[in-house]
Amino acid sequence: MNLALLTAEQKEQFDTDGYLIVRKVFSEDELGEIKTTFEQISQTTVPGYFEPVLDESADPLKRYPRIVHPHRFNAVAMKYMLHPKVMRIMEDLYQEEALAAQSMFYYKPPGSRGQALHQDNFYLKVEPGNCIAAWTAIDPAEEENGGMLIVPRTHQFDLVCPDTADEKESFTTHLVKPPKDRKPVPAVMDAGDVLLFNGNMIHGSYRNKTKDRFRRSFICHYANASATMIANFYRPLYRADGRPVDLALNPHGGPCGIEFTAPYGAH
């Protein structure tokens, strides 16, 4: 295992609260490369991955839809999914090797809806163990422009079958209601900060209420190397050196049963 990047206090916070923000993981040059790459992608169409509606639309998310798995067609996305600092942080959190399972890029343009509260491992189905998300702010993120909402310590709860979300406020249809004694709190972040959170933790995001500010983010999900199963959508996974790893398909249906088909993604 590499030399630890997190302090004992940071590891304890993650274990206790289910999340941790590590400041300035990505440099200005790295952020610039990510911005340039995804700005170029936003002017194109990538069949199966990024298919924007380029004319005027009432829904800004049709012009700037999220990109799921950009690492499967873009070398820069693969590079930052396997970012050395992030992979070392994941090793510290898992106390073992980490495997990269998913990358996503969200443009979150002005006026766009947020995402209702949900749990990530409902979709990834990492077993045994759990997924961990690394949510990197490419722009500053706070309540006004659609930053993240987290419900601390809900990682201690089981996965639940979600209710139906309000589609006027959420671009996804799933909603996991937190316990009455647990309230969502904003995760205020600067560009380059990384929010890490447990796959059972309840979280979501605000609507972008601004008229001129994007809230771009690069999000990746990881699994512990001792896991043996994952949902099919996330295969193959990758080691830090880029070698693919193909975990077994998880046949379990989860809390909604095997007949339930869940959408992918988060945030």
What does pLDDT average to over the chain? 94
Rounded average pLDDT over 34-43? 98
Alpha-carbon dihedral 23, 210, 175, 126, rounded to 10 degrees: -30
pLDDT tens figures, 105-118? 999 999 999 999 99
What DSSP character marks residue 170? Answer: B
Is 162 part of a structural domain of the chain? yes
CATH number of the structural domain spanning residue 128: 2.60.120.620
Q: Is residue 266 part of a domain?
A: no
Tell me, yes or no, whether 152 lies in a domain: yes
SS3 42: helix
* In the predicted structure, residue 263 carries a pLDDT above the cut 50: no
In-domain check, residue 261: no
**207 vs 46: CA distance, rounded Å:** 26
* Domain encompassing residue 221: 8-42+59-256
Does a structural domain hold residue 267?
no
Query: Is position 264 within any domain?
Result: no
Percentage above 70 pLDDT, the chain: 94
pTM reported for the whole predicted model: 0.94
Count up the domains in the chain and report the number.
1
| Per-residue pLDDT at 69 exceeds 70 | yes
In a domain, 54, yes or no: no
Give the mean pLDDT of 5-10.
95
Does 1 fall in a domain?
Answer: no
- Grade residue 138 by pLDDT with cuts at 50, 70 and 90: very high
